[in-house]
Chain A
Amino acid sequence: AQKITQTQPGMFVQEKEAVTLDCTYDTSDPSYGLFWYKQPSSGEMIFLIYQGSYDQQNATEGRYSLNFQKARKSANLVISASQLGDSAMYFCAMREGDPSSGDKLTFGTGTRLAVRP
């Protein structure tokens, strides 16, 4: 079974509107972390936001917020007020287990977001 599932291979959004990118995960570990990354066409991986499994509140970083629904095992990324520069590939990733055992990540297949002017 896939540990990280991103069901939207591609998404369009109008400039200045909000968009939600879906991510569901599968783990039996009570301790885990969820990450979102942006990968523009240049290929670099840009860290956007992090949510820990024990965090009580949804993570927010500027225009990015994470809609964390633990019971549903979902960690959707919400981008508000989309900008043309948001056009990129977006990856959801998970770190399982106690952080002291290592920080390796498992990635989803990604969602390509295109922002329309």
Chain B
Amino acid sequence: SAVISQKPSRDICQRGTSLTIQCQVDSQVTMMFWYRQQPGQSLTLIATANQGSEATYESGFVIDKFPISRPNLTFSTLTVSNMSPEDSSIYLCSGGQGIYEQYFGPGTRLTVT
């Protein structure tokens, strides 16, 4: 199984600022994903982080708001830009080494004031 860590674990940010969340996997994975979980809701996929190319965004999410980097097969970052209170959520990254696996990081709890 893959072990995934995220930094920071939580943060409180002011409106209009940006936060970059880091995701580190202890082994190489082909694909990494970023999800958002708004309070009391299920998980929604933001984008697929592709190594060596631009991320693939889901409907309703754009690169200017959620820029993603994937410099190698074990690391990715998600930036939440120009934050508003509506961005207050848990942000989770995931990845796996095979089709039977999809492991998640512990999440980043973001509160925007």
Query: Which positions in A face B, CB cutoff 8 Å?
Result: 33, 35, 37, 42-47, 50, 52, 91, 93, 95, 99, 102-110
Contacts and interface: CB of A to CB of B under 8 A. Distances in A.
B31 A43 contact: no
Contact of B107 (A44, A95, A106, A109): A44
Contact of A102 (B31, B37, B92): B31
A47 B103 contact: yes
B92 A45 contact: yes
A107 B37 CA distance: 11
A105 B32 CA distance: 11
Given A45-B92, A103-B31, 4 more contacts: A37-B104, A43-B90, A91-B43, A103-B33
B5 to A, nearest CB: 11
Contacts of A93: 43, 102
Contacts of B43: 45, 91, 93, 105, 107
Contact of A99 (B41, B94, B99, B105): B99
A91 B42 contact: yes
A93 B92 CA distance: 15
A98 B33 CA distance: 17
Contact of A103 (B92, B99, B104): B99
Interface residues of B, number: 24
B104 A45 contact: yes
A50 B33 contact: no
From A33, A43, A50, residue with most partner B Cβ within 10 Å: A43
A102 B32 CA distance: 10
Contact of B42 (A43, A102, A107): A107
Contacts of A106: 45
A104 B33 contact: yes
A110 B45 CA distance: 15
Contact of A44 (B33, B45, B102, B106): B106
Given A35-B102, A103-B96, A108 B42 contact: yes
Nearest to B6: A44
Contacts of B100: 33, 50, 52
B18 to A, nearest CB: 22
